[in-house]
A and B are shown apart, each in its own frame.
Chain A
Amino acid sequence: MLAIFKRETRSYFTSMIGYVVIGVILAFIGLYYTANCLVYATSDFSIVLYSTTLVMLFVLPALSMRSFADERRNKTDQLLLTSPVTIPQIVLGKYLAQLVVLAVPMAVACIMPLILTCFGTVSLTSAYATLFAYCLLAAACIAVGTFISVLTENQIIAYLATFGVLLVAYLMESLQTLFTSGNTLAFIVFCIVLAVASVLIGFVCKSITVGSGVFCGGAAVLIVLFQLRPAWLLTAFNSVLDALALFSPFETFVGGMFSVSDIVYYLSVIGLFLFLTGQALERRRWN
């Protein structure tokens, strides 16, 4: 794992991509820091971080896009997969190298609240807690990007797909308001999801019976629920959408609260997507 980690880190810093990512993140944080804290003289550092979350959508996919897509195109994954290292070690090595690149602008950002203390009282706890959550959010975005990168061998597709997924996650809060009215809508959406899932299951099992069986069973459950407990569907639907809103837990921290459940949420997202990356890598050997 150490070998992969070292190689990846070095490759980020011998090519332009590492510097570009670091530079862009720092430029935006610096811009908002200057505008908000130095010029406008607010003591709230978290507002700077909040304003720069949008930058993640553009920058972090550039970091994660090459992690696996490039290996597959150049067939260098053959070296990794035929060496005596496990798949979790490969995934972790690559992921940690991306975190090292991320750590550079974060380390610089650590200094910023300290500078503010020269001019007045600053809530350092709040500032650093937000910065911590900011790092976790970025780490979660990178995990998503790494997973998407393993699915394709084209870096540009990996970039665009990651950008799209993160954009949906970013906009999820406002999208959610479209869905909160009406249990029928929730029912319809669940039915569509069920239909898609059934078709997929049918394809995977190569059996129409299994696919239609799943669909009929699921539809029966949905109809019964819709008749008896229509509110449940809406609640369930909303909690699914909540879980997809990757950026909203971060706002709790910006609001000045330290939420353990949100930290657990980010760690779960990271864990889930790294696990899926490993599974996708493993699965490729079977096709």
Chain B
Amino acid sequence: MIEVSHLTKRYGSHVAVDDISFTVEKGCIYGLLGPNGAGKSTTMNVITGYLSPTSGTVTINGHDIQEEPQAAKACIGYLPELPPLYTDMAVREYLNFAAELKGMKKKADRAADVARVCEKAGLQGMEARLIRNLSKGYRQRVGVAAALLGNPEVIILDEATVGLDPAQMIEIRALIHDLGKSHTVILSSHILSEVQTVCDRVLIISGGKLAAQGTPEELAARLAAKGVISATAQGSREQVLKAAQSVAGLTDLRVTAEKSDEVSFTASSTDGADLRAALSAALAAAGCPVLSLSSQNLSLEDVFLQLTESDVSADSEQGKPESADEAETAMPLAENEESAGTDTPQDKEGE
């Protein structure tokens, strides 16, 4: 569907995107994830033909964006980071214009399509309003609606949920999820939970390079070298620990809480194998009933931090204070992002 190969974009001496290659399959939702300034928007701008790559090629549906820009652009609906809205136009007028730009010649076709996208983006009743007078959230919706015009095969959304209130965010995510059934969607975000819930596949970009790609689960599994188990068992501390130590391959035992006759602890396996069954059996054999037992999987968030932090430490050699950079990468976390808004820094230790 979309093939990006050895894409490099330089601004003067600054390399924004450095030799990125990936393929986007039809009918999947792709998430482009990365800290600020990682090159997400630049990559999207090159894919949509707004910028020219310094080197490398982008092929959309078999059409090279440089060689056959018209055919390639016709397959794409794009919502840039800042929706390109003419504020002196009314919503319907603007969407009509965008539809005509996309080559919809007949007036009736345009009107029908504009009505369709207005309904999808939740703009009913706003069609006659001037874009100038709309709130940020509604402007964002107009941008989304414009991207849907003409039912393009590929829809590219750059930070589509920025500036929306939590209810709207959920709505837009549902819309993206819905679009994924019939379209190929690429969305960029720095909100991990959004990517984790919505996307089928994730591309993590850091410092202009493709740091990792795969399904959210794959990425988590790949980096979960040590399967961490947390368990609570009934019995005395010595009894429980002795039983746990008897399991082959289980190390790094740590007691996290201790109540009257309950012990909670975490342990990790050396080779990454799932040792829950063995641990449960060992505890049972030692006469310590297991009260809870779960394996702690690495979330996408942890993967993201691991991948981007390795870059940060490389950067810090050049004199950058590491803590400041970490604060930047750690910025957009938290599972409960929906209610927290977008840019409240969250304490990652709390997760």
Contacts and interface: CB of A to CB of B under 8 A. Distances in A.
Nearest to B51: A285
A82 B98 contact: no
B50 interface: yes
Nearest to A83: B101
A15 interface: yes
Contact of B84 (A6, A15, A76, A86): A76
B78 interface: yes
Interface in B54-112: 69-71, 73-74, 76, 78, 80, 82, 84-89, 97-98, 100-103
Contacts of A79: 84, 98, 101, 146
Contacts of B89: 7, 11
A81 B101 CA distance: 10
A75 B11 CA distance: 18
Contacts of A85: 70, 101
Contacts of A78: 45, 50, 78, 80, 82, 84
A227 to B, nearest CB: 43
Contacts of A4: 101
Contact of B101 (A75, A80, A287): A80
B48 interface: yes
B329 interface: no
B227 to A, nearest CB: 45
Contacts of A2: 100
Nearest to B158: A78
B213 interface: no
Contact of A84 (B73, B80, B82, B97): B73
B151 interface: no
B86 A7 contact: yes
A3 B110 CA distance: 12
Contacts of B97: 3, 6-7
Contacts of B86: 7, 11, 74, 76
A14 interface: yes
A2 B73 CA distance: 18
A84 B87 contact: no
Nearest to B103: A84
B52 interface: yes
Contact of B50 (A7, A81, A84): A81
B49 interface: yes
Nearest to A14: B88
Nearest to A80: B101
Contact of B49 (A7, A82, A286): A82
Interface string A70-110: 00001111111111111000000000000000000000000
Contacts of B100: 2-3, 6
Nearest to B77: A82
A233 B280 CA distance: 98
Given A6-B97, A285-B51, 11 more contacts: A2-B100, A6-B100, A11-B86, A14-B88, A74-B86, A78-B82, A79-B101, A79-B146, A83-B102, A84-B103, A286-B51
Interface of B: 11, 45, 48-52, 69-71, 73-74, 76, 78, 80, 82, 84-89, 97-98, 100-103, 146
26 contacts: A3-B100, A6-B97, A7-B86, A7-B89, A11-B86, A11-B89, A74-B84, A75-B82, A75-B84, A76-B84, A76-B85, A78-B50, A78-B78, A78-B82, A79-B84, A82-B49, A82-B80, A83-B98, A83-B102, A84-B70, A84-B74, A84-B101, A85-B70, A85-B101, A285-B52, A286-B51
